[in-house]
């Protein structure tokens, strides 16, 4: 969270104290609230909202006004073990997708967040792009976790077949992709099974392939939209500079 989130944070915390507290614990001082906010600074406002809600409905701890440790426990308890990478790990994964030869296996949130940061990336501001990615990624992950959606991994296919084979084989070994899906994405099945070995049969493999192709087409379309947005932003910046120069020379 940052300073932009403080008003919402304050409102939610006040509501929780009003709901749970009694007597002297009915409110929280501004100083204590500021410390509370700082203690949870590493989490997004969506994660705080989820953690506070979890505390309020907890049969045991929900009888007492929340402390930062209570919210952190709720957040970590809700997010632990769902298989999603951290924002730094997701950023490292996303960067590999810039080489069109490479196949990348990533979560839906990683792919979407990387698309969101593309206009910034197109300007050459890698630091700004990373910040935009992490903000978007954490927001998307928090929303998925609140909705109790499990991590969904997919492959963005590169043109290098040798690299594709290695990446998909590793994804299957790591449990990120089912073998039938990975097999369908290879020109020659090599991950320990053939199409006829698939217990779900050819129909399911074709459906998986169609779904993956649709995701790839969507990613390409998103990339094109991002490039167009960056071009338009650059054109607008040049126009403004030209207008400023014109006014100065008048």
pLDDT of residue 63: 87
Q: Where are the beta strands (DSSP E) in the chain?
A: 104-107, 153-156
Tell me which residues of the chain have a pLDDT lower than 50.
189-205
pLDDT of residue 176: 79
Q: C-alpha distances in angstroms, 201 versus 180, 195, 198, 242?
A: 9, 7, 5, 62
pLDDT, tens digit, 9 for 90 and up, residues 44-53: 887 888 888 8
Rounded Cα–Cα distance for residues 6 and 11 (Å): 8
Q: How many CB atoms lie within 10 A of CB 237?
A: 11
Are 31 and 74 a contacting pair, CB within 8 Å?
Answer: no
Burial of residue 129, with CB atoms counted within 10 A of its CB: 0-12 exposed, 13-18 middle, 19 or more buried: buried
pLDDT, tens digit, 9 for 90 and up, residues 117-130: 999 999 989 999 99
pLDDT of residue 31: 92
- Which residues touch 154 (CB under 8 Å, ≥6 apart)? 105, 106, 107, 108, 111, 177, 212, 215
pLDDT of residue 188: 53
Helix-then-strand count for the chain, H and E:
11, 2
In the 8-state DSSP scheme, what is residue 58?
Answer: -
What would the two tokens of residue 241 be?
A: 């500079």
Spans of all domains in the chain: 3-79, 87-241
């Amino acid at each position: 969270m940052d300073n932009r989130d403080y008003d919402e944070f304050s409102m939610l915390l006040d509501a929780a104290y009003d709901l749970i507290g009694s007597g002297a614990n009915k409110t929280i001082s501004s100083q204590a609230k500021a410390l509370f906010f700082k203690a949870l600074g590493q989490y997004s406002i969506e994660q705080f909202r989820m953690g506070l809600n979890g505390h309020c409905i907890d049969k045991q701890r929900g009888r007492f006004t929340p402390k930062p440790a209570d919210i952190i426990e709720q957040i970590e308890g809700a997010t632990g073990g769902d298989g999603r990478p951290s924002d730094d790990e997701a950023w490292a994964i996303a960067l590999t997708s810039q080489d069109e030869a490479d196949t990348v296996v990533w979560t839906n949130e990683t792919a979407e967040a990387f698309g969101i940061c593309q206009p910034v990336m197109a300007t050459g501001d890698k630091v700004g792009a990373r910040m935009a990615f992490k903000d978007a990624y954490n927001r998307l992950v928090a929303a998925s976790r609140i909705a109790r959606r499990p991590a969904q991994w997919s492959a963005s296919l590169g043109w290098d077949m040798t690299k594709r084979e290695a990446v998909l084989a590793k994804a299957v070994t790591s449990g990120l992709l089912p073998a039938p899906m990975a097999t369908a994405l290879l020109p020659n099945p090599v991950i320990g099974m053939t199409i006829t070995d698939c217990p779900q049969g050819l129909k399911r493999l074709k459906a998986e392939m169609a779904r993956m192709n649709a995701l790839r087409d969507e990613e390409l379309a998103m990339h094109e939209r991002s490039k167009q947005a960056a071009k338009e932003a650059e054109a607008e910046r040049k126009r403004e500079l030209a207008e400023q120069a014109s006014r100065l020379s008048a």
